[in-house]
Each structure stands twice: as C-alpha cells, then as structure tokens.
C-alpha cells in the first residue's frame, strides 16, 4: 500500500508516515507548536550499579550484550572523531557477528570512514540510518538500496527528536578521548583528543543504556564532565578509539581559488558596508575554505576598527582561536572542534567554552543561540529564485550531504550564503531546489563571484547598501548569468519511492528525497 | 476517614497515602526497584521565546504572573543563599497579595530567615512545605498547624522525587548571584556570591516554568552555566537577592568545647588505627564544629604521613580548601559552599569543581558519589541500640531539622557518627529512635567522648582496631553510661495525626512524625 502524501506549507509533497511512524508535514517557520511532553527514559536505581563506581567491562561486545543488544534497536553514536572514528563501525561488526538484525543507526553525522556500514545495510544488520549520509552512503540511499527510509535531521533537529521521543535511543555508544571508570568523560586529553564531545549530550541524557568507550582511562573524577557518569551504564577501554590524524584533519585551510577569494572579499565588503559587522557583532562561520577566508578578512577588519565580536559559535578553527587570543573576540562557544589549535585552545583558554548543540540548537527549548547571532555564514548545494536552500542533494539528484547545523543557523539575524555561481559547470542557482532544506524567507543574502543578491524581504539590508558600489543583482540576474555560461543542466529524474525524509528543526517534514531513476 | 497505615520493613507504621498521593512503604535498603519512567516536563518551542535571547522582565511578580501562578501549584526554591535569602519569602508575599491559595513550597532547605512563611501557612497561601523545616517552622508542623502533611526528603531524595515525577514543579524560582539575560546563571560573582548553585539543577531540568532572579546581570554568556538558559523562561533583576554576611556566615569554626575536641581526637585516632584513613582515601565531613576539628586533625595526619586524599566532597569549608591548596587533597567536588575561602577557591581553583547533588546523591541514577567515599563523618540527634539514626526530631519529639544529605551519605564505605553522649543532659543514645531516618545497618561507628561503639555487623572494623588501645564499648554500654549520668528522660507523647512523612533515598516512606501531645 503506498504511503499517503500531502502537500506541506512549503508546497512539497511529503508522507504522513515514515518507517511506520506518523509524520507531521511542515507548517511554516515557527508555526508548529509541539505540545506534549518530553521523552522520559526508564528510571534506573543505584542498587543495580557497582558501589565503588567502577563500571569498566572487558569489551565493547560484553557491554553491548549487557545492554541487551537485540533486533530493531536504535543505536546512537556521535561524530566527534570525524573521519578517524574507529568505534561506530565496530558496533555493527559486533551486532552482525551476533546475528542481530534491523538496527537503526542514529549517528550525529557520518564520514567516509563509515562507508563499511554498507555491508551491514546489505546483510540486514542495519535497517536504516537516521542521520547524515555522505558520498557512498548517500549514493546507496539515492539508489533505493536501504531497507528503511533515511531520516535527515539538522544537528538541532536530532537533539529535538531525542528530547521529544521521536527517536528513542536504546543504546548510545559514546567514544570519549578521556573518561573515568564511572563514565564521566570529555573531549580533551589522551591521544585521540577531539576537543569537545557535546554532540553526545542529548544521547546520554535520554538513551536507555549508555556505553562510554575510551582509550584514555583516568582516575575519577574526569572533568569537565561533558558526559555525566550518572547516566552511564558501562565503560569500555580499548587501544584506540580513533586515528588521531584523521580526527583532526589539520586541513582547514583558507581557499586558494581566486573565485572563492573574490567571494570572501565581497562578503567581507558587504558585511562592512551594510553595517552588519560592527563592534560587538556575534559571528558564526564554517570550516570550508571560503568561510575561513571570510574569517581572516573579518578578523582584519575588527582589528583595524578596534572592534570586538562579543562571541563566536564554533565549530572552531585556528582562525577563530586567533581572534580570541588577539582580543577581537570575547568568547568562543563551541560544539565541535576542527583543528589542533582549537583543541589546544578549548583545553587551555577559559574563554573558549564547550557549548553543546543541545543548548545551542534545540528548537524545542526555551531559546536558541542561533537567533542571537548577528552574522551567519553558510553554504548550499543549490539556492532557488525564492531563496530556498538545499544542502543535502546535488543538482544531479544524489543525496550527498547531511544537513549539519545549517537549518538551525538559518535563524540568525543575517544569513549570508557566499557560494560560487556554478560548480563543475553546474549552476548553483536554480528555478526550484531539488530538495528543500530551508525556506527562502530565512535566507538573506547570496554572495557569488559575479554579484550579490539580497532577499527582497530584507528591505532594510537593501537600503543599507544603496550606493555602496557593491555589485548588487537580483537572484534571477545571477541565475541567468550562470546559465549563459553553463547552459541549463538537465534535471534529474526520480521514481515515486521516498528514500529519505528531510525534517525541519521542529520535527515536521519539509521535504523528501526520492529514488533516482537510473538511466 | 483515617488514612490506612502499614508496618514497613523497618517496623514503622507508615501511611499508604500522603497528601492524597499514593505512598510506598520502605522495603529495606536497596530493595525498592523503581520501574517506570522519569518525569517528562512539557515540550517548549523557541518560537515562544524572544529571538534576541533577552528574557528579562520587570519584576518577580510579573514573572510569576507570566508563569501562570495559580492555586495549588508547586513552587521550588534552592537554599544556597542560606540565612541571607531574600527571594523565597518574597514569592509567597506576592502569591498572598494576589490571593493565590494552597501552594506547595518545595525548597531544598529552609533557614531561620524563612520563619515569616508561617504567616503564609496561616493565611492559606501555602498548603504545606515539602522540605526541611528547622526551628519555628518545625515546631509549627509538630504542633499540627500545617494544613497539608510535610514531606521530608534527603537532598538526594529531593532530586529523585523531581526526576521521578513524585513532585512536579510548576514554577522554580532560582536566585542566582550572577546571570545573563538568557538565564544562564552561576553561584559566583556579584555581591551575593554563594559559590555554587548546584541544588537548582533538578529544578531547572524538570520544572514547567523557570524564573532566574539575580542582582548581578552580566553580558551573555554567563559561565560556567550552572543553570542552563535553555531551560529558563524569565529573568528578573532585583537590587539584592541576599544579605551577603548571612549567605556566607563566616562562622564555620572549629569547636572549642573540650568534650567535642575529645570526640574529634578520638575520631582521628580511630581513622588511623582502623586503617580507614590511608593514602588516597576519599573523605566527606560536614561544617559543624566537631567535623571541622576532625578535618583539621585529618589534614595534620595526611601531612605527616605524606598521604593525599583523592577527593573530598563538599559542602566545602576553609579546612578542606587548605587541604586542597597544600596538596593533601586532589580535588574538592562541591555541591554547596560554607565560607568565603571556599567561594574564592571554587571561583579560582580548577581542582575545586562544582558537582551538583543531582549527580552526587540521586539514588535513581546510574551510581552515586556517596558509595565511593571511604570516610563519611555525620551527625545525629539520636542513635538507638540497633544503630538506627534520627536527624529530624529531638528526643522531645519536636521536628527541628531537615535531613540534608545525611541519608545519601549513609551509603559511604565507612559511616562514622562522632556525637556527644548527651546534649543538654539528654542522652543521644536511646532504646529506639523517635524518628527513623537511617537504618542501623548503614551506620558503622559511633564515637562519643566516653567511648567508641562499632556496629557488630562490621566485624572487619572490630577486627582492625583490636588491641589498639581505643576505648571500645558496646552501644548498650554507652547508653547505660549516659543514663547513669542524666537519668532516663521522659518519652514525648504523640497524637495519632501524621504531620510529616520521612522518605528514604528511593522515595519510599521510612517513617513519619506525629503531632505532639501538648501538655
């Protein structure tokens, strides 16, 4: 029986049921009132835990068995070890060897190192992944090979789903660079330091069972307690939780592409001329080459003007750390760390503060950090004439990226997308985005190497740069210009089958990804 | 209709219902398996909170009105401002002026400064207090004047009750020495610093509405975030949240009484001769004069032997801080702060770490700090021949104290009660405690100025001090000795009416306090 679909408030056809669970169609930004109550995990009792606080067991397999690993369970992991993660795959290797089937893997993100889980999708160990899927995993989903339907959520949407009980984690397997025998754990120390492990917060708060896996067991108390031992069932000590050089890639480098540098310069120029960048302005940028170039320009401007950003929100990079250290930024609030300088900074600088996504991005809490940010620099795979954005599929229709914090960050005061006009001769600005990830009403400015388009809704911004000499264009003009150079690319063709649902920050379904028609 | 009572596992007659809610009789230490799920507060949505994160409203009354203050609600407060608290009473003054009735006050403790709430008990604004009641408040309850039945819980039992939904907080009013406009808050800074505000953790996590009241509003972000702004509804800025000299009394002084000093010396001697005090031993003592004297002796011994306690758990005092600073203690984990030296220490010493009771004492979590402590020094108003302890009533039957962390601390490896043989010529050791707060099986050693009694269950301890020259006696011998000096005091006489229930750490009812028969 085909699943019933409806047209949601964004005009997208979405199902009323995903993986057998009822789904709520997107109602518009800020329109869905959740009602109901937060999820309530089972009540544990101290009498079931060792008096001496020592929860160390012999192996991850033993811990998983003690947690009652069985068919259909939801297993969560975090992505702080990035492409150096040695634990996530291990969980499914064990599950597969135990003959466990139909698991739901609920990572906070996945990386190329996770491609091996394809074999556990193939052999039925894993029913589906609810989380970001990049590269081969995304391709696998797009080709309709995954048994269950993928669910894509933003970082904030993920913790919202945990808190609200949309996703009920049976076992959270949380790798930790440093931990004590009680399960208190943190992201610094040892040889697998990743800076912070704040993505694990919702997981340990709400999972029925929590396993901490570490390669650096220290005496109690391990602090700061990013994971609180009172929520932890078992601690597993292994040789290596990660491959250090892949945890922190060290490759966060400013772009060298002349086009991207031009975009970065234009962005910096826009920030100054529009008056958005000013003393005290709060800033968030990413770790891409263009973002880093923007960070360098912004730093320079702050220095010259004698201004100071009140705070920036990480993922942190050495460029933010430099702002902090040289006095152009008051604080870095940080949910993940992208390079070694940032790991050192968060370990040593009291003004570089761990700030979990649970606190920064959870839309079903009493306020978010994102709406307090003045300047938000984001990317996109596609933007359309209504300023709608796509970050998960490419114009060829393949699922290629997770949402990350992108949707959450759209709630900032000024959302700026510095993006190239085309990538590999495929225009980035399109009539209608392949997959809708964020409504255009939240996206304010598109900055390309050939001009800047301001969302007509932002009359104030348009006014602010009048006569500034900036290359202002309409988004239609930008699109036409790109198509003049590249031509209009063929649209991908899809089957009816829904292979992934894209959730909005409030848990409603904003769009879906359909199975690609193979040629 | 009289409430049905049963005899619980400790032999005490307890009701099956308290304040109209079903109650579970005590089943024995570690015997009650809670089952069920944690409490789940309502799901909020960011769209109902200001985008700029500024939640400051004009007054506490405005905040209470916006929170929908109404009849029958449960209002929680913390006690970190101790006898200098200017906020708790204010809440009920406002409620009374608004004509609100039948509130339940759920403080983490009360102090003499709270005596004025008697008028709000009298005028019907407050139905009952669930929390510690000292002095006049306790007398009020003992005389049967409170409309509802008091419920006495340990610090850990309080957070267990919140987490498990036995107490559902409608509005938490949380005074904070420092806060930002978003509601992030901490116990240091400003002119009302109290060190930590960790007793507020369960409150803000589980209350439907949370009000932070501060007299020191700082720029966002206020950190460390002992209260996380994401859980906060409103922030109120007032002139003064407390009277500084009463928040930190500065009167934590080593006893000068020769008898108490003798008890302290005997205790130190016992700790050494039994081998309990050794390199690495973890220690918790209180802030009473005898405890402080013991801390000083222990510090001396550690120094002489070149030993170091791994960590101590606060309430911290300058004597613990000295151990930390001079290298005889690795860390102080701290839930409350008793003097100015400790406030300074927790603000500046990275090894003096806030550690909320929610993490240390919640018996319905995955392990407690208390069972990891080697040496636990506690007091009692009465101990009986079975080593059962009482901390809430005196031998005259009056309710005079809260339980504090006492019940939770009984889970330590070695629980030692240094107590005088008599107070005001009333023997402390009795046939049977007036009110049972802790089962004798958890109390290991009674140390008085006239001898030491070891619980016969602790054969290992008895063995360890054989031939040590310590004045070992049976508890019966100690009791007889006291009665030889003081005589046998008259037992208080009680009515049938239950005025207070005493909960065990797992939420079951271990005993009750009955209305005193007035002469």
> Smallest CA–CA separation between B408 and chain A, in Å?
11
How many Cα atoms occupy the beta-carbon half-sphere of B519 within 13 Å? 5
Domain boundaries, chain A: 53-130+167-247, 258-492
Q: CB A220 to CB B372 under 8 A? A: yes
Q: Is the ipTM of this complex over 0.85?
A: yes
| pLDDT band of A176, cuts 50, 70, 90 | very high
A358-383 average pLDDT score: 97
Q: CB A46 to CB B163 under 8 A? A: no
Q: What is the pLDDT of residue A518?
A: 77
Size of interface A-B (CB pairs under 8 A): 177
**Chain A residues with CB inside 8 Å of B220's CB?**
310-311, 372
Q: CB A362 to CB B230 under 8 A? A: yes
A505-519 average pLDDT score: 93
**Chain A residues with CB inside 8 Å of B40's CB?**
37-40
Q: CB A359 to CB B230 under 8 A? A: yes
Give the Cα separation of A142 and B285 in Å (integer): 62
- State which residue of chain A sits closest to B49, comparing Cα positions: A367
> Smallest CA–CA separation between A476 and chain B, in Å?
31
Q: CB B45 to CB A364 under 8 A? A: yes
Q: Residue A126: which of A143, A114, A111, A135 has the closest Cα?
A: A114
Q: CB A232 to CB B353 under 8 A? A: no
From the list B220, B223, B230, the residue facing A366 with the nearest CB is B230
> Smallest CA–CA separation between A144 and chain B, in Å?
35
Give the Cα separation of A159 and A506 in Å (integer): 10
From the list B37, B363, B372, the residue facing A45 with the nearest CB is B363
Q: Which tens digit of pLDDT belongs to each residue from A128-172?
A: 999 988 889 999 999 999 999 999 999 999 999 999 999 999 999
From the list B34, B183, B311, the residue facing A45 with the nearest CB is B34
| pLDDT band of A395, cuts 50, 70, 90 | confident
- State which residue of chain B sits closest to A358, comparing Cα positions: B230
Q: Are A342 and A314 in contact (CB under 8 A)?
A: yes
Give the Cα separation of B89 and B97 in Å (integer): 12
- Which residue, among B366, B370, B441, would best test binding to A if mutated, counting the most A CBs under 10 Å from its CB? B366
Q: Are A160 and A193 in contact (CB under 8 A)?
A: no
Q: Are B474 and B453 in contact (CB under 8 A)?
A: yes
> Smallest CA–CA separation between A359 and chain B, in Å?
6
Q: CB A33 to CB B44 under 8 A? A: no
Query: Do the domains A53-130+167-247 and A258-492 sit in the same CATH topology, yes or no?
Result: yes
From the list A37, A223, A367, the residue facing B230 with the nearest CB is A367
Q: CB A34 to CB B43 under 8 A? A: yes
A193-221 average pLDDT score: 97
From the list A39, A219, A221, the residue facing B353 with the nearest CB is A221
DSSP 8-state symbol, B452: E
**Chain B residues with CB inside 8 Å of A230's CB?**
358-359, 362, 365-368
Q: CB A40 to CB B37 under 8 A? A: yes
Q: What is the pLDDT of residue A138?
A: 94
DSSP 8-state symbol, A492: P
**Chain A residues with CB inside 8 Å of B415's CB?**
none
- State which residue of chain A sits closest to B210, comparing Cα positions: A366
Q: Where do runs of H (alpha helix) occur along A306-445?
A: 318-326, 340-348, 357-360, 406-409
Quick one: tokens of A376?
């938000």
Give the Cα separation of B237 and B242 in Å (integer): 13
Give the Cα separation of B504 and A368 in Å (integer): 39
Can you list the residues of chain B whose pLDDT is less than 70?
1-2, 250-251, 519
| pLDDT band of A120, cuts 50, 70, 90 | very high
Q: What is the pLDDT of residue B500?
A: 97
From the list A47, A164, A221, the residue facing B43 with the nearest CB is A164
User: What angle, rounded to 10 degrees, do the helices at A318-326 and A289-305 form?
Assistant: 10
Q: Residue B144: which of B131, B120, B130, B128 has the closest Cα?
A: B128
**Chain A residues with CB inside 8 Å of B371's CB?**
46, 51-53
| pLDDT band of A1, cuts 50, 70, 90 | low
Strand partners, B56: B235
Using alpha carbons, list the distances in angstroms from residue A271 to A281, A290, A374, A447.
11, 15, 10, 11
**Chain B residues with CB inside 8 Å of A225's CB?**
359
Give the Cα separation of B185 and B212 in Å (integer): 8
**Chain A residues with CB inside 8 Å of B355's CB?**
221
> Smallest CA–CA separation between B348 and chain A, in Å?
11
Phi, psi of B137 (to 5 degrees): -65, -40
Q: What is the pLDDT of residue B285?
A: 87
**Chain B residues with CB inside 8 Å of A407's CB?**
none
Q: CB A32 to CB B45 under 8 A? A: yes
Q: What is the pLDDT of residue B251?
A: 59
Q: Are A513 and A141 in contact (CB under 8 A)?
A: yes
Q: Say which CATH architecture domain A53-130+167-247 belongs to.
A: 3-Layer(aba) Sandwich (3.40)
Phi, psi of A243 (to 5 degrees): -100, 105
Q: CB A221 to CB B311 under 8 A? A: yes
Q: What is the pLDDT of residue A31?
A: 97
Using alpha carbons, list the distances in angstroms from residue B281 to B251, B310, B439.
28, 6, 25
- Which residue, among A27, A30, A46, would best test binding to B if mutated, counting the most B CBs under 10 Å from its CB? A46
Q: CB B231 to CB A365 under 8 A? A: yes
Asked whether residue A479 carries a pLDDT value surpassing 90, the answer given is yes
Strand partners, B57: B236
Provide the CATH number for the domain formed by A258-492 in this structure. 3.40.1080.10
> Smallest CA–CA separation between B396 and chain A, in Å?
35
Asked whether residue A210 carries a pLDDT value surpassing 80, the answer given is yes
Q: What is the pLDDT of residue B519?
A: 62
Report how far Cα B61 is from the mean position of its chain's Cα atoms.
Answer: 29
> Smallest CA–CA separation between B33 and chain A, in Å?
7
Q: Where do runs of H (alpha helix) occur along A248-383?
A: 258-273, 289-305, 318-326, 340-348, 357-360
Number of residues that make up chain B:
519
Q: What is the pLDDT of residue A489?
A: 86
- Which residue, among B201, B333, B367, would best test binding to A if mutated, counting the most A CBs under 10 Å from its CB? B367
Q: For chain A, report the end-to-end CA distance as a whole number of angstroms.
A: 26
Q: Where do runs of H (alpha helix) occur along A73-224?
A: 88-97, 117-122, 135-142, 155-164, 201-206
Q: What is the pLDDT of residue B272?
A: 97
Q: List the beta strands (DSSP E) in A39-93.
A: 56-57, 74-77
- Count each helix (H run) and each strand (E run) in chain A, helices first: 15, 31
From the list A39, A229, A364, the residue facing B40 with the nearest CB is A39
Give the Cα separation of B414 and B404 in Å (integer): 18
- Which residue, among A230, A233, A352, A442, would best test binding to B if mutated, counting the most B CBs under 10 Å from its CB? A230
**Chain B residues with CB inside 8 Å of A331's CB?**
221
**Chain A residues with CB inside 8 Å of B34's CB?**
43-45
| pLDDT band of A341, cuts 50, 70, 90 | very high
Using alpha carbons, list the distances in angstroms from residue A361 to A312, A370, A381, B204.
14, 7, 22, 18
Give the Cα separation of B54 and B181 in Å (integer): 5
Neighbours of B180 (CB within 10 A): 26
At A126, is the secondary structure helix, strand, or coil?
A: strand
Q: Residue B156: which of B218, B198, B215, B216 has the closest Cα?
A: B198
Q: What is the pLDDT of residue A519?
A: 62
A216-245 average pLDDT score: 96
At A403, is the secondary structure helix, strand, or coil?
A: coil
Q: Which CATH superfamily is domain B258-493 in?
A: Glutaconate Coenzyme A-transferase (3.40.1080.10)
For residues B288, B291, B293, B295, the Cα torsion angle rounded to the nearest 10 degrees is -130
**Chain B residues with CB inside 8 Å of A48's CB?**
366
A204-211 average pLDDT score: 98
- State which residue of chain A sits closest to B164, comparing Cα positions: A43
Give the Cα separation of B50 and B229 in Å (integer): 12
Name the one residue in this structure whose structure tokens are 């005001």. Answer: B424
Q: CB A333 to CB B221 under 8 A? A: yes
Q: Are A272 and A245 in contact (CB under 8 A)?
A: no
Q: What is the pLDDT of residue B3?
A: 79
Q: CB B182 to CB A367 under 8 A? A: yes
Using alpha carbons, list the distances in angstroms from residue B352 to A124, B333, B374, B378.
50, 6, 19, 22
Q: Are B435 and B400 in contact (CB under 8 A)?
A: no
Cα four-point dihedral sign B164, B166, B172, B176? negative
Asked whether residue A20 carries a pLDDT value surpassing 70, the answer given is yes
Q: What is the pLDDT of residue B250?
A: 57
From the list B37, B55, B359, the residue facing A228 with the nearest CB is B359
| pLDDT band of A254, cuts 50, 70, 90 | confident
Q: Are A164 and B43 in contact (CB under 8 A)?
A: yes
Q: What is the pLDDT of residue A133?
A: 83
pLDDT over 70, % of chain A: 99
- Which residue, among B39, B40, B43, B226, would best test binding to A if mutated, counting the most A CBs under 10 Å from its CB? B43
From the list B37, B229, B367, the residue facing A43 with the nearest CB is B37
Q: Say which CATH architecture domain B46-130+167-247 belongs to.
A: 3-Layer(aba) Sandwich (3.40)
């Amino acid at each position: 029986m085909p699943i019933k679909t409806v047209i949601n408030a964004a005009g997208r056809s979405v199902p009323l049921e995903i993986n057998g669970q009822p789904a709520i169609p997107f109602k518009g930004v800020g329109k869905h009132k959740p009602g109901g109550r937060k999820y309530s995990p089972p009540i544990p009792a101290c009498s079931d835990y060792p008096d001496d606080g020592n929860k160390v067991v012999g192996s991850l397999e033993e811990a998983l068995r003690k947690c009652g690993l069985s068919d259909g369970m939801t297993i969560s992991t975090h992505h702080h070890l990035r492409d150096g993660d040695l634990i996530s795959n291990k969980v499914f290797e064990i599950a597969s060897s135990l003959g466990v089937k139909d698991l739901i893997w609920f990572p906070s993100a996945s990386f190329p190192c996770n491609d091996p889980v394809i074999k556990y999708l193939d052999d039925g160990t894993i029913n589906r992944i609810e989380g970001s899927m990049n590269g081969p995993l995304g391709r696998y989903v797009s080709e309709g090979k995954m048994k269950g339907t993928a669910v894509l959520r933003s970082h904030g949407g993920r913790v919202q789903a945990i808190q609200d009980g949309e996703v009920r984690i049976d076992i959270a397997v949380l790798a930790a660079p440093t931990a004590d025998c009680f399960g208190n754990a943190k992201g610094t120390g040892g040889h697998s330091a990743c800076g912070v492990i704040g993505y694990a917060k919702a997981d340990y708060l709400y999972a029925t069972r929590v396993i901490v896996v570490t390669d650096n067991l220290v005496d109690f108390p391990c602090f700061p307690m990013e994971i609180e031992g009172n929520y932890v069932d078992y601690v597993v000590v292994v040789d290596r939780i990660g491959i250090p050089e892949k945890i922190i890639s060290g490759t966060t480098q400013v772009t060298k592409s002349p086009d991207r540098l031009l975009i970065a310069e234009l962005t910096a120029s826009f920030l100054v001329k529009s008056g958005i960048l000013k003393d005290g302005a709060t800033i968030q940028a990413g770790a891409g080459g263009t973002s880093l170039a923007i960070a360098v320009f912004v730093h320079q401007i702050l220095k010259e003007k004698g201004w100071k950003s009140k705070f920036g929100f990480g993922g942190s990079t050495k460029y933010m750390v430099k702002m902090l250290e040289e006095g152009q930024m008051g604080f870095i609030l940080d949910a993940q760390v992208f390079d070694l300088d940032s790991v050192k900074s968060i370990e040593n600088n009291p003004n570089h503060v761990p700030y979990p996504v649970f606190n920064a991005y959870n839309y079903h809490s009493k306020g978010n950090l994102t709406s307090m940010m003045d300047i938000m620099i984001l990317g996109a795979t596609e933007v359309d004439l209504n300023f709608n954005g796509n970050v998960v599929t490419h114009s060829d229709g393949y699922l290629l990226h997770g949402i990350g914090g992108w949707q959450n960050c759209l709630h900032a005061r000024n959302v700026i997308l510095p993006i190239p006009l085309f990538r590999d001769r495929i225009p980035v600005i399109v009539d209608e985005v392949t997959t809708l990830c964020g409504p255009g009403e939240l996206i304010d400015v598109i900055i390309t190497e050939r001009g800047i388009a301001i969302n007509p809704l932002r009359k104030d911004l348009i006014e602010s740069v009048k006569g500034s000499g900036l290359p202002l264009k309409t988004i239609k003009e930008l699109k036409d210009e790109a198509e003049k150079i590249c031509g209009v690319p063929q649209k991908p063709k899809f089957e009816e089958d829904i292979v992934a649902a894209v959730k909005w920050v409030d848990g409603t379904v904003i769009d879906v990804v359909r199975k690609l028609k193979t040629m």
